[in-house]
Amino acid sequence: MPAVTTFTIPYLQVLDEHGRLDAKKDPRPSREVALRLYHGMVRAREVDDRLLKLQRQGRIGTFAPTTGQEASSCAPALNLTDRDWLVVSFREAPAQLMRGIPLFRIFLYNAGFEEGNEVPEGSRTLPLAVIVASQALHAVGIGQAMNLRGEKDAAVLVFLGDGGTSQGDFYEAINLAGVWQVPVVFVIQNNQWAISTPLARQTRAETLAQKAVAAGIPGIRVDGNDALAMFRATREALDRARSGGGPTVIEAVTYRMRMHTTADDPKRYRDEAEVEAWKAKDPIPRFRGYLEKRGWWDAAREEALVSEVRKEIDDSVKEFEAEAERLLREHPDASFDHLYAVPPAALKAQREEFLRRVRGEA
C-alpha cells in the first residue's frame, strides 16, 4: 500500500555525555549569555539543595525537586524577551529564577504561602500550575489572544511533563495550537517518571515529540541534559513563533534525579542503578567543560560563583522567614480563605476557634 504520509522526528544533541562538542551544531552563545546560563543552572542546583534541607528541618512544606533538569529548564527561559510569556508547572523553579522571580518567593511558595506565587508587576509570567497539563491550555489561550490582537514579535513558552502528555488538556492544546497557529513553544520535560509511573506505562509511542505530528506542528526531540542543545532548539522555535511561523513541540529527554516531591520515596518503585546511570549525564559538569574549553571558566571562578550563590540563598532564606512571620502575624487564618466561596458553618466555627487559640483565648 502506498503511504499517505511519513514523518521523521529530528534529534538534537550538541554536547554529548562525554562532553564532546559537535561543532557544526554549536549555537555559539556569546560569553556573556553562556555564563548567564551556567550561573542559572548552578544557582538552581544550590537552591534545590537548600530547599531539601529546609524541608527536612520542617521550615518549608513539601516541594518538587529539580536537580538534573537545570539545562532543560534554564536554557529555554534564558531565550525569553520581556515581551514573551512564561507559563510553568510545579517543577520549573530554575526557569522561574532565570526569569527573575525573586528567590525568597520560591521559598515562600513552598512554605505554603500563596504570596510566593506572586510575580513582579508587569512580568509576563503566570503563577505556577499544579493541575497537570492545564497550563498548556492557558498558554494556547494567551497565544490566541496575541493573534487576535495582532501582537507581533512575542511568543509563549510553556512547560509540562511526560505524564502531562497523557492528559486531554495537552492534546486539546496542541490541536488548537496547530489550527490557530499560535506562537507557542511547548517544552515537554520528559524526566522519565510521573510520580511512580515510568514512561513505558505512560505511552506506547516511541517519542513524545511525535505527538506534534498529529497536531500538524513540528516536533523535535532534544537531549535535555545538554544546555547547548536546549538553548539552540528553544531559540529557533521561539524565533519561528515570534515571526508568525506557529507552534513547536520540543521533547527534552532528561531525568528526575530526586524524589517526585518530598512526600514520596522513589526507592519504593525505581532502581537506584538507573539514577546512578543518569548521574553520568549531569547537565552541569557537561556544560562547565564546554566553558572551560572556551577559556571562560576555571576552578577559581567556580569557587567564587558557588560562594556568591550560597550567600544569596542565605539572605533570601532570612527574607522569606521574615516575610512568612509577618504574613502569619497579620493573617494567621489565611489557609481558611479560599476553600469555599460560601464557607460551611463547621468551617466557620473552626476558623473562629483557631483564631481564639492564636490570640491565647482558648
Residue 92 has which C-alpha cell?
520549573
Q: For ligand TPP, give the closer residue by CB, 199 or 355.
A: 199
Q: Which of 28, 83, 201, 269 is catalytic?
A: 269
Cα distance between residue 297 and residue 284, in whole Å: 13
- Cα–Cα distance, 222 to 252 (Å, whole number): 5
The window from 114-122, 157-165, 235-243, 336-344 that contacts Mg ion (CB under 5 A) reads 157-165
Q: Which of 43, 232, 260, 288 is catalytic?
A: 260
In the complex, minimum distance from the CB of residue 62 to ligand TPP, in angstroms, rounded to a whole number: 11
Residue 290 neighbours by CB distance under 10 Å: 21
What CA–CA distance (Å, rounded) separates 62 from 258?
13
What is the smallest separation between the CB atom of 221 and ligand TPP, expressed in angstroms? 16
Measured distance CA(230)–CA(34) in Å, rounded:
12
* Closest distance to ligand TPP from the beta carbon of 184 (Å): 18
Q: Which three cell numbers stand for residue 30?
A: 556569546
Q: Would you count residue 164 as binding Mg ion (CB under 5 A)?
A: no
Given the rule CB under 6 A, which residues bind ligand TPP?
91, 130-132, 161-164, 189, 191, 193-195, 256, 260
Residue 205 interacting partner from ligand TPP, Mg ion, none (CB closer than 5 to 8 Å by kind)? none
Annotation marks residue 18 as catalytic: no
Tell me which residue of 331, 307, 338, 144 sits closest to 241, measured CA to CA.
Answer: 144
Name residues whose C-beta falls within 8 Å of residue 215's C-beta, 6 or more positions apart in sequence.
171, 174, 175, 177, 178, 249
What is the nearest approach in angstroms of ligand TPP to the Cβ of residue 164?
4
Q: Is 39 a catalytic residue?
A: no
Phi, psi values for residue 289, rounded to 5°:
-60, -40
**Residue 164 touches which of ligand TPP, Mg ion, none (CB < 5 to 8 A by kind)?**
ligand TPP
* 31-56 helix and 70-78 helix, angle to the nearest 10 degrees: 130
Shortest-Cβ-distance residue relative to ligand TPP: 161
Catalytic (active site) residue 260 = yes
For residue 262, the partner it binds in ligand TPP, Mg ion, none, with Cβ less than 5 to 8 A by kind, is none
Provide the minimum distance between the beta carbon of 69 and ligand TPP in the complex, in angstroms, as a whole number: 8
**Residue closer to ligand TPP (CB basis): 193 or 320:** 193
Helix ranges restricted to H, 128-221: 134-149, 168-180, 211-214
Q: Report whether 288 contacts 225 (CB < 8 A).
A: no
The site for Mg ion (CB under 5 A) is made up of: 161-163, 191, 194
Residues labelled as active-site residues: 256, 260, 269
